[in-house]
Amino acid sequence: MADFSRLPGPNADLWDWQLVAACRGVDSSLFFHPEGERGAARSAREAAAKEVCMRCPVRAECATHALAVREPYGVWGGLTEDEREAMMGRSRHRAAPDRDDDERERERERDRERRRYERYADVEDAEADEAVADADGDPHGRHDDYDPYDGEPDLDMDPDRDGEPLHIY
């Protein structure tokens, strides 16, 4: 399906080229294939459509429009669906090295950061801390000097004699 968001607005000047197109008044089935059409029948229909396009005074505008909106169906400006797809694919492949270059640069930056970390991380201290943690029965060293209730108020667990609820001091 065509991406209509890429179409220009309702400004008639942008569409005037269609008024002088050689395909005006020609049956659209010449330019758009019926479902399931293949092989020789499709090639013959596309060749006939291209003949109309070759004598069209606005062929370039038509092809430019079809490529700009990535028109997926029909013959436009003498270009078939497959020809336009190949042209758009080439333009996508031209952009791919930029994405590959960006990805390679991100990978290099990650490597630099990793090396920087390894250079400054004191591996011997980490191993010593781990040995102490293992000796204390805390294999991960997570509970050294940790009190989850530190800083919280104490609760009076005995209710008052008159049946009042518990008090926080």
Give the residue carrying structure tokens 């607005």.
9
Annotated binding site for [4Fe-4S] cluster: 23, 53, 56, 62
Q: What angle do CA 158, 160, 163 make, to 5 degrees?
A: 110
Annotated binding site: 23, 53, 56, 62
SS3 96: helix
- Closest CA relative to residue 2, chosen from 69, 78, 77, 92: 69
> What sections of 55-156 are H helices per DSSP?
59-68, 81-120, 123-135
